[in-house]
Structure 1
Amino acid sequence: MAGIKEIRTKIKSVQNTRKITKAMEMVAASKMRKAQDRMRAGRPYAVKVRNMAAHLMQANPDYHHPYLTERESLKAVGVVVVTTDKGLCGGLNTNIMRLVLNKYSEFNAQGIKSQFTAFGNKGLGVLSRVGANVVTQEVGLGDMPQLDRLIGALKVQLDDFVEGKIDAVYLATNRFVNTMRQEPVFFRLLPLPGKLADPNTVFETPAQGVETPGENQSQYGWDYIYEPDAKSVIDELLQRYVEGVVYQAVAESMASEQSARMVAMKAASDNAKKVIGDLQLVYNKTRQAAITKEISEIVGGAAAV
């Protein structure tokens, strides 16, 4: 009977765990919808700002913004890593951090110094354990990205790039593809690619398409009336472009987090249901064997009398 009691206790424990995972699945599903709407709403902004910046640079080829300056060689780089603050979201953080650590090893092998900005507690923990140089961090971002909190941590990397302390800035995040699929991406944020034509610098969907600057150059040219002047407008627009890409990266990561957590919790709930079924089968067999044994003992005792 002791075995029956242990099995019953284990069944109760797994049932309680399944209630928790089911509740977390429902919460993640609710948050996922809002996060995906927020993420999709930001994609057209990133695309339009990119096109506007490309058109302005095309109209003013004489002005060269610091963000466009290519360095002769890479001696030091900055990496912005976007992860989640909480776990229980499958391999989402594992995949992006594996990619980041591989790039970190490549930089070290080439003698390139690296400094990191961590958005999210999980990435910060991994970078701290491997002894990486984390210059800025921002954790506890919640369910909605706030640009003012992101800019403070990002500004250190941008200022170091302008001052020449680092030669490039890279961004690592999870790109949301669909509910079942999230892709880790690692791409160069600064210096900005020529004509902003790098498809990895925004998170557009294939259906949106992105206008490649220069495609329609044979049909017409770009010209603008600036207020107050071209330099001020381009400086402000490129700054907004970089901030918009980072904001979109965080929004993509949050949408990926809720999707991955919903899928992971659903898998956990399904597995718990299967375990409960197996335990109940063992419980019934054990209980039946115990009853049969008791009946045999009673019959044997009666026969002996």
Structure 2
Amino acid sequence: MAVSLNDIKTKIASTKNTSQITNAMQMVSAAKLGKSEEAAKNFQIYSQKVRKLVTDILHGDVVLDSQNPMLIHRPVKKTGYIVITSDRGLVGGYNATILKSMMELLADYHEKHDFAIIAIGGIGADFFKARGIQPVYELRGLADQPSFDEVRKIINKTVEMYQSEIFDELYVCYNHHINSLTSQMRVEQMLPIIDLDPNEADEDYKHTFTLETNREELLDQLLPQFAESMIYGAIIDAKTAENAAGMTAMQTATDNAKKVINDLTIQYNRARQAAITQEITEIVAGASALE
């Protein structure tokens, strides 16, 4: 059945409107990405300083054999996972990548429900609930550039659950931002805290400190803050990857809309040419009949 010229014109106009929307969304995501990348860069400076401070205290002039529970590996009866997704769609394969990987991880390492899910983002929370996995805690509506105050509640709650032995180890699962086109799914251990051994070749660690209180008491204060900073850093990284995915998805949608408009324009011109040819043919035939 032939498509009328008016139908094609309507499709072209509708597709143009859609392309304008996706192009605007692409520009918004690009602006958000720039801010997210700057926030992630600034946070890395803070994170490195905190890590160095904690490492220095543990490995000062005398190595401290700390008994802080956040440093001690205990028998693992249950594993906690913080899973970071978005609250909305229109971000390409961002959510599908992390959720598919999480289900494979749970299938490989957890035959029983010996795990706990902390969901950051509505997509992930709803995904797990639909599969009979009830998150022990969830956070929705997080800003694109979240402040620490926005996530303080869930971070504090997570650290508290670990200290209360609700789970014995904690991992953060998220998409790590590499560049505007690429992200990589990561599963990083947050608790107990690891990788605090100093690099022997780094002279910066070889200091003698004069402390107003003993090192164990300092660690009692610093280690929860260090764990919180690592979790917050993962959230910022994930948000950066989300904004990049949103920008790429909208760019792809805009490019596809332009291609559809081009194809429809060609179809319209051909249909119009056929209609004109038909009209000319009818006029010539009518003129011939009058001769």
What TM-score do the two structures reach when normalised by structure 2?
A: 0.91
CA distance in 2, matches of 1:127, 1:289: 55
**Partner residue of 2:254?**
269
CA distance in 2, matches of 1:80, 1:28: 25
- Go from structure 1 to structure 2 and tell me whether the alpha carbon gap of 1:218 and 1:87 turns closer, same or farther (over 3 Å shift): closer
**Partner residue of 1:64?**
67
Q: Does 1:96 align with 2:98?
A: yes
Post-superposition, which runs of at least 4 consecutive aligned residues in structure 1 deviate over 3 A?
Answer: 216-223
CA distance in 2, matches of 1:259, 1:131: 31
Does the Cα contact within 8 Å between 2:35 and 2:145 map onto a contact in 1? no
Q: Which structure 1 segments of 5+ residues have no match?
A: 198-212
Name the SS of the counterpart of 2:262 in structure 1: helix
**Partner residue of 2:15?**
14
What TM-score do the two structures reach when normalised by structure 1?
A: 0.87
Provide the identity percentage: 32
User: CA RMSD for the aligned pairs?
Assistant: 2.0
CA distance in 1, matches of 2:115, 2:205: 43
TM-superposition CA deviations, 1:116-163 (whole Å, max 9, x none): 111112221212212213111111111221223323123333223222
Matched letter for residue 245 of structure 1: M
Q: Does 1:233 align with 2:197?
A: no
Does the Cα contact within 8 Å between 1:170 and 1:187 map onto a contact in 2? yes
Matched letter for residue 43 of structure 2: G
Does the Cα contact within 8 Å between 2:159 and 2:228 map onto a contact in 1? no
- Go from structure 1 to structure 2 and tell me whether the alpha carbon gap of 1:277 and 1:33 turns closer, same or farther (over 3 Å shift): same
CA distance in 2, matches of 1:255, 1:23: 19
**Partner residue of 2:110?**
108
Aligned match for 1:297, one of 276, 282, 288: 282
Structure 1, 176-185 or 149-158: larger mean CA deviation: 149-158
Does the Cα contact within 8 Å between 1:76 and 1:167 map onto a contact in 2? yes
Name the SS of the counterpart of 2:65 in structure 1: coil
- Go from structure 1 to structure 2 and tell me whether the alpha carbon gap of 1:122 and 1:214 turns closer, same or farther (over 3 Å shift): same
Structure 1, 75-84 or 57-66: larger mean CA deviation: 57-66
TM-superposition CA deviations, 1:77-125 (whole Å, max 9, x none): 111111222221111111111122212222332x351111111122212
- Offset of residue 3 of structure 1: 1.5
Pairs within 5 Å for 1:180-219: 180-193=181-194, 195-196=195-196, 213-216=198-201
Name the SS of the counterpart of 1:134 in structure 2: coil
CA distance in 2, matches of 1:159, 1:53: 20
CA distance in 1, matches of 2:269, 2:227: 63
Aligned length: 287
Does the Cα contact within 8 Å between 2:26 and 2:250 map onto a contact in 1? yes
Q: Does 1:154 align with 2:139?
A: no
Does the Cα contact within 8 Å between 1:58 and 1:222 map onto a contact in 2? no
Does the Cα contact within 8 Å between 2:55 and 2:196 map onto a contact in 1? yes
Name the SS of the counterpart of 1:189 in structure 2: strand
Does the Cα contact within 8 Å between 1:107 and 1:113 map onto a contact in 2? no
Does the Cα contact within 8 Å between 1:174 and 1:253 map onto a contact in 2? yes
- Go from structure 1 to structure 2 and tell me whether the alpha carbon gap of 1:143 and 1:218 turns closer, same or farther (over 3 Å shift): closer
Q: Which structure 2 segments of 5+ residues have no match?
A: none
Does the Cα contact within 8 Å between 1:173 and 1:249 map onto a contact in 2? yes
Q: Does 1:248 align with 2:233?
A: yes
Name the SS of the counterpart of 1:196 in structure 2: coil
- Offset of residue 11 of structure 1: 0.6
